[in-house]
Amino acid sequence: MKKMKFAVAGTGGVGGSIAAMLSLAGEDVTCIARNSHLNTLQHQGLHYKSDLKGDHLLRIPAYSAEAYEGQADVIFVCVKGYSIDSIIDLIKRASHADTLVIPILNVYGTGPKIASLLPDNIRVIDGCIYIVGFKSAPGEITQMGQIFHMVYGARHADDFVNTRMQEVAEVLKNSGIKVTISEDINRDTFVKWSFISAMAVTGLYYDCTMKRVQDPTDDAYKTFYALSSETEALAKSLGIHVEGGLLKHNLHVLSKLDPNSTASMQKDMAAGNQTEIKGQLFDVIALADKQGVAMPHYHEVAKKFEA
């Protein structure tokens, strides 16, 4: 198989970790970044501090979305949910006839949203990831813990997409990333959304690390439990079935997190940066209201963050 060219649009904790793992495995990968992060990547390289891979300084080609003139076989979209519109032109320019676009975001429904903004001939699937990773400084990505699991799949796949998804999975697995090709990506992206929403919102509400959220005697744990129970009810109203139950899944994933970690939304809020609070909190409430699902705990938490 001809070596694939990868482009990673958005090289924060998720995208930077993906790019680093691919680079360490000798793959052809390019980072798309901006501002001081881009400047450091270009002049000093990517400093990857990883519990899985150790400490590395990697020289990876890096460009702004506007300056990138190449084309890629696979484009990972790892920007924040509020930045999707900003990379649509990049995807158009960087795609060729056989490019596969794989969104890896924390907000539900991003695959279909991105596809709706692109020409029909650009193949877009959908995905999510389980990882604790964050930009710890310009040009520096920190990955914590032992979880690095990517899930992706297509709602409507042809033979090419099915083959390309398998090819990408092999490359990622050889790079040390666990991969699942989903048979129901609508379910699996909702499941991730449920978890990241409950986890990030709880951490933000109490301004705490995961240690408190993991402690069954702590109010933070009880809030996480309640929020997860409410998104489980929302999933049932949407006809989404999760084997073993969504609440059980969320508690299992929570138990695997580094106790000292915090959600990226919490870090963004503390730094005064734009956050994904709309996609991870208020969009959950809006969908539940549309479905007629009661979410008293979500509404209670939201009061703290309403403008």
pLDDT at 177 over 90: yes
Which tokens hold the place of 275? 């956050």
- Mean pLDDT computed over 47-56: 97
Residue 38 in domain:
yes
- Mean pLDDT computed over 238-261: 94
Which of 183, 212, 228 delimits the end of a domain?
Answer: 183
Which of 134, 157, 183 delimits the end of a domain?
Answer: 183
Q: Output the domain CATH number for residue 12.
A: 3.40.50.720
Same domain, 203 and 154: no
- Domain region containing 269: 186-302
pLDDT of residue 307: 65
Residue 32 in domain:
yes
- Mean pLDDT computed over 203-232: 97
pLDDT of residue 288: 97
Residue 98 in domain:
yes
Same domain, 82 and 226: no
Interacting residues of 151 by C-beta distance below 8 A, sequence separation 6+: 127, 128, 129, 130, 179, 180, 182, 185, 188, 189, 192
Q: Which of 147-161, 237-251, 262-276 has the lowest mean pLDDT?
A: 262-276
Task: Count up the domains in the chain and report the number.
Answer: 2
Rounded to whole angstroms, the Cα distance separating 142 from 232 reads 31
Residue 49 in domain:
yes
pLDDT at 16 over 70: yes
pLDDT of residue 81: 87
- CA-CA distances (angstroms) from residue 235 to 105, 167, 182, 265? 19, 31, 17, 23
DSSP letter, residue 280: I
Neighbours of 162 (CB within 10 A): 13
Q: Do 131 and 14 form a contact (C-beta atoms < 8 A)?
A: yes
Phi, psi of 264 (to 5 degrees): -60, -35
DSSP letter, residue 3: P
Same domain, 204 and 235: yes
Residue 262 in domain:
yes
Average confidence score pLDDT of the chain: 95
Same domain, 214 and 274: yes
Same domain, 178 and 252: no
pLDDT of residue 264: 87
pLDDT digits 0-9 by tens, 193-202: 999 999 999 9
Same domain, 78 and 210: no
pLDDT at 270 over 80: yes
**3-class SS of residue 19:** helix
Which of 162, 183, 204 delimits the end of a domain?
Answer: 183
- CA-CA distances (angstroms) from residue 195 to 73, 123, 205, 276? 30, 27, 15, 14
Q: Do 33 and 64 form a contact (C-beta atoms < 8 A)?
A: yes
Same domain, 156 and 34: yes
Residue 99 in domain:
yes
Same domain, 173 and 198: no
Same domain, 22 and 149: yes
pLDDT digits 0-9 by tens, 26-50: 999 999 999 999 999 999 999 999 9
Side-chain-facing half-sphere of 173: CA atoms under 13 Å? 10
Given phi > 0 = left and psi -120 to 50 = alpha, else beta, which region is 295? beta
Same domain, 138 and 281: no
Residue 307 in domain:
no
- Mean pLDDT computed over 48-54: 97
Same domain, 15 and 86: yes
Residue 15 in domain:
yes
Q: Output the domain CATH number for residue 285.
A: 1.10.1040.10
Same domain, 154 and 290: no
- Mean pLDDT computed over 146-155: 95
Neighbours of 146 (CB within 10 A): 11
